[in-house]
Structure 1
Amino acid sequence: MQKKQTTIIPPSTIIKNRYRVTQKIGQGSFGETYAAVDITTNESVAIKVERIDDKKMVLKQEVIAIKSLQLLACPYVVHYINSGRQDYFNFLVMERLGENLAELRKNRPTQVFSMCTSLRLGIQMIESLEGIHKLGYIHRDVKPSNFVMGHKSDPRKRRRAYLIDFGLARKFRSDTGEIRPPRKNAGFRGTARYASIASHYKRELGRVDDLWSVLYAVIEFLKGHLPWMKMKEKDMIGQVKERETNPNLCKDLPSEFVVFMEHLQKLEYADEPDYNLLKGLLLQIYVREGYNDEIPYDWQQVAAASPIPQQTHVSTDDVPNATSQRNTSTMENFSSSMRNSNASMTQLGRNNSDVKPSRHSLPANYNRAGTQVAEEVVPPVKPRDKKAKNCKSCTIM
């Protein structure tokens, strides 16, 4: 027998004499989201609501996080408009954005994204998280449904993915800027399919855990599944995830994904991820495969998803120097152009190819476009220099 669908507020409800609810567009563990119209401006908005008698009310925390990030000018976070309480529910009014990445993937005939689309989204997801991490927050519920594309009617935003749902967000730094000490039992946080292994062990989550969720999400974009996706029980998912989180998880994917995973495996709770390295790995595939910015996203075209490129052998030493002054400037230019929905990843790749050789430069058997020209056995990945963790990362503000 199916559960009867209920809604917290009915259509046509007027909130604070200003917002008229039109329809329900989403539901999660902690509330519901509705489409609405601002009566005073005739603009479309989204309103998230929760009942005031819910045992787990998280909207207050979400409002605090979004307002703080907005005051600090974080560009890749949904825009806050209003919030408050009416009758029996709390509400949060935000800008109306487009479809989330989970919906967009499931609407594909094959339920996968092409490599080109997956790489673009992966880079944007990393950049969004880098932005909130630099402002002292971790998200703790990173998943495709919590990234939404800008509304299709807005040419400035429709090619950009925005991070939403900060109900589980937490400040990992104290007021003095120090990293907060980890709690012994922090409880499970996140969504089981995408949560890091640390979350299954109820450990304190750090910046690295948000990025584990990005890796799992991008692999799902490309393959359409994860080994544990049909399981329901959290403990069982955690066991399978721990067993399967190894290079085999990246089977049939470019070797950069293994290097991505190996970097995350080296990080502890308090460590800062090398965001430039992770973005550079995905960018390297993008350039090598000859993708360009004229190619539309999968949902903007009817053609089938492109095949996954053949594997190449890379290590962290193969990635263009993401920490050099030249490349940092290039990544800043990339971030700026993405904010204007006119990003040029191919141009970024060309600029990277001009960087002088360094410990992260392409090996001799790669040409300047990043294409492998001869087979070569690459030795195992060397442990990264501890000093590299403190490298200058690109600024997206």
Structure 2
Amino acid sequence: MIECGYSDFGYIMIMDLQGINLKLFKELLPEHQFSQETSLRLLLRMIKILQFIHKEGIVHCDIKPSNFVVKGKEDIVLIDFGIAEYYQDQFGNKKNRKEHRGFRGTLQYASVNAHLKKPVSRTDDLVSAFFIYFENILGSLPWNSLNDSPQQICEKKIQFKESGIYKYTQIQMPVINSFQTIIENVDATEPSYNFIMNKLSSLFIEHHIPLIPIFNEKELSVLPEEEDYGQYRTVPSTPKNCKLKKTKEIDEAQSVESQNAPSYLDDLFKTMKEQLPSFHPLPKISSFVSKLKSNDFNLPFGL
């Protein structure tokens, strides 16, 4: 996040604009699915991203393809922390989380625990990442039918975990072992990140799969150019019968070259503060945001 605040019109946040999300990216591909190598690289990257945010005490609660966006052509980042929550306080103490608080997440990628309305844990984030992987290499998930009820989808996920997963030759045993380990250790103090990474690494070594680039040439050929990202970006839509203020500034911001964007956004935010009434800065989540801002590396997610 570059800056945040609120006014009489509501909350205001200025964030980095990223590229196309994985859901839209896959839809642009001729076969509507990524290669097995790309899918494996994406899974590895997603797990590393989740390990990072989990280390900071955060559970995302809504891991899905549309919440991972492409950064340039060489990386992905995680966005939309709208329903994320802390599972521990700043001292590392686990928080008491309410049972039966209602379903959280996206039906297609949610874990069985989420279906049962249990508090979403780090493990459930990882399960959702594996569901994305399975969809990437299979083209679709067994429960993707729009006619299925939430209960039927939950039952299909249980069946998939227990026996259905072994029917798909595209899913290799190290991946299955990693997935089953996560499911079986759902109540563990900490997910087995190292076990998962070791299993996945063995596949890269055995099949001589390069870690980079994430996407192959065929996939990159359909990726929109940076100047065309505007029609694909994951951005809030404008309500009907409503016009956005500051349209001129927004249009200008989209046309600025990427290397000049940060300074332009600073000027834009300054203009907004001057013209919008009663603007007040929002308090930051000090223990998390300040720590992130102190790092010089590119963060693997959008906050």
Relative to the length of structure 2, the TM-score reads 0.67
Q: Does 1:233 align with 2:149?
A: yes
Matched to 2:42, the amino acid is L
Q: Which amino acid aligns with 1:264?
A: I
Q: What is the CA–CA distance in structure 2 between the aligned matches of 1:194 and 1:105, rounded to whole Å?
A: 16
- Measured after TM superposition, the shift of residue 84 of structure 1 is 2.7
CA contact (8 A) 1:141 1:168 kept: yes
Tell me, yes or no, if structure 1 residue 246 matches structure 2 residue 162: yes
* Structure 1 Cα separation of the partners of residues 176 and 214 of structure 2: 27
Is residue 2:24 matched to residue 1:95?
A: no
Aligned pairs (5 A) from 1:164-243: 164-231=79-146, 233-243=149-159
Moved over 6 A (4+): 338-341
Q: Which amino acid aligns with 2:201?
A: L
How far off its partner does 1:245 sit?
2.1
Identity %: 30
Q: Which amino acid aligns with 2:32?
A: Q
Looking at structure 2, the residues matched to 84 and 254 of structure 1 have their Cα atoms a distance apart, in angstroms, of 48
1:214-363 equivalent positions in 2, closer than 5 A: 214-231=129-146, 233-250=149-166, 251-252=168-169, 253-269=171-187, 271-293=189-211, 297-298=215-216, 299-301=219-221
Residue 100 of structure 2 aligns to a residue whose secondary structure is: coil
Q: Of the candidates 34, 56, 60, which is equivalent to residue 135 of structure 1?
A: 56
Higher percent of residues as helix: 2
What is the count of residue pairs matched by the alignment?
Answer: 221
Write the deviation string for residues 238-295 of structure 1: whole angstroms up to 9, x where unpaired.
2222222234225212111210122112223452111122122222212211222566
Tell me if structure 1 keeps the 8 A contact 2:161–2:180: no
| Pairwise CA distance, 1:181 | 3.1
Gaps of 5+ in 2: 223-296
Amino acid at match of 2:128: S
C-alpha deviations, 1:341-379, integer Å up to 9, x for none?
9xxxxxxxxxxxxxxxxxxxxxxxxxxxxxxxxxxxxxx
The Cα of 1:99 is off from its aligned counterpart by 1.0
Question: Which of the residues 29, 43, 56 maps onto 1:108?
Answer: 29
Does residue 82 (structure 1) correspond to residue 15 (structure 2)? The answer is no
Normalised TM-score (structure 1): 0.52
Higher relative contact order (CA 8 A, sep 6+): 2
> Aligned partners of 1:124, 1:296: CA distance in 2, in Å?
9
Aligned partner letter, 1:257 = V
Judge conservation of contact 2:74–2:214 (CA < 8 Å) in 1: no
Map 1:145-164 to 2 at 5 A: 145-150=66-71, 152=72, 158-164=73-79
- Given that residues 119 and 283 in structure 1 are in contact (C-alpha distance below 8 angstroms), is that contact kept between their aligned partners in structure 2? no
Q: Deviations over 1:319-343 (max 9, x none)?
A: xxxxxxxxxxxxxxxxxxx9699xx
Residues 1:91 and 1:265: Cα distance change in structure 2 (over 3 Å)? same
Report the counterpart of residue 122 of structure 1 in structure 2: 43
Aligned to 1:38: none
The alignment partner of 1:84 has SS state of: strand
CA distance in 2, matches of 1:103, 1:246: 31
Is residue 42–residue 214 contact of structure 2 (8 Å, CA) maintained in 1? no
Check the 8 A contact 1:208/1:271 in 2, yes or no.
Answer: no
One-letter identity of the residue aligned with 1:112: Q
Give the letter for the 2:159 counterpart.
R
- In the alignment, the residues of structure 2 paired with residue 198 and residue 340 of structure 1 have an alpha-carbon distance, to the nearest angstrom, of 29
Q: Kindly tell me: are residues 293 and 217 of structure 1, through their superposed partners in 2, closer, same or farther at Cα, counting changes over 3 Å?
A: closer
Query: Which SS does the other structure have where 2:37 is aligned?
Result: helix
Larger mean Cα displacement after TM superposition, 254-263 or 175-184: 175-184
Q: Secondary structure in 1 aligned to 2:181? A: helix
- Give the superposed CA RMSD: 2.3
The verdict on how the C-alpha distance between 1:215 and 1:170 changes in structure 2, with shifts beyond 3 A counting, is: same
State the shift of 1:196 in Å. 0.5
What does residue 327 of structure 1 align with? none
Residue 72 of structure 1 corresponds to none
Q: Which structure is higher in strand share?
A: 1
Structure 1: segments with no counterpart, 5+ residues: 1-79, 153-157, 303-337, 342-397
- Cα pair distance change 1:288/1:168, threshold 3 Å: same
What secondary structure sits across from 1:283 in the alignment? helix
1:170–1:269 CA distance, 2 compared to 1 (3 A): farther
Looking at structure 2, the residues matched to 247 and 122 of structure 1 have their Cα atoms a distance apart, in angstroms, of 22
Partner of 1:333: none
Cα deviation for residue 205 of structure 1 reads: 1.3
Question: Is the Cα–Cα contact under 8 Å of residues 82 and 93 in structure 1 kept in the other structure?
Answer: yes
Query: For 1:296 and 1:261, how far apart are their aligned partners in 2?
Result: 21
